[in-house]
Amino acid sequence: MAQALLATFARLDKAGRFIENLLLVSLLSAMMLIAVGQIVLREFFDSGFFWADELIRLIVLWLAMVGSIAACRENRHIRIDALSHLLPPKAITATRILVDLFAAGICALIAWHAYRYLQIEIEFEETVMIDTPAWMAHAIVPLAFLLLSYRFVVGTAKGLVDLLTNASDTAQ
């Protein structure tokens, strides 16, 4: 049962990695094509797409959110580890567990409030670009913070497993 659950989580993680990487490559490529196209149109043809600048800003938002999820997945987000060289390995693991748990809570709180903001955008029917509902463009924010919270919870669980496994190894 536990092996089947771990295998399911491994498959979900692999699918998540694929989707995140695909989104990052697609968004970055689209942003570059639109930006270069806009520059060419403005410089050589004295025209351009009036919606392109706003679309690029929205793509940057999506890139930042998806990139932060990918960074968290790889445990390569910003960390302050001023004390890590002074602490023993078990204390470092325990500290990471606490930090990941705190980060999970903060990300969940931000996700909740971003979702509430999204509901307001839906209620007031705000739009971006060419009459696109703003909530569609901004939906990445609560989703990204929810996924970040999930990643930090997974990091907390992995840290607990490491801590308990190392504790049982040293007890034997």
Domains of the chain by residue range: 1-78, 82-172
pLDDT tens-digit series, residues 38-72 = 999 999 999 988 899 999 999 999 999 999 999 99
Query: Which residues lie closer than 8 Å to 155 by C-beta, 6 or more apart?
Result: 72, 75, 96, 100
Q: Which residues lie below 8 Å from residue 72, measured CB to CB, with a gap of 6+?
A: 148, 151, 152, 155
Residue 172 has a pLDDT of: 53
- Tell me: the pLDDT tens digits for 64-108? 999 999 999 888 877 777 777 788 888 888 888 999 999 999 999
Q: Please say whether the beta carbons of 59 and 31 come within 8 A.
A: yes
pLDDT band for position 167 (50/70/90)? low
Tokens linked to 63: 């890139």
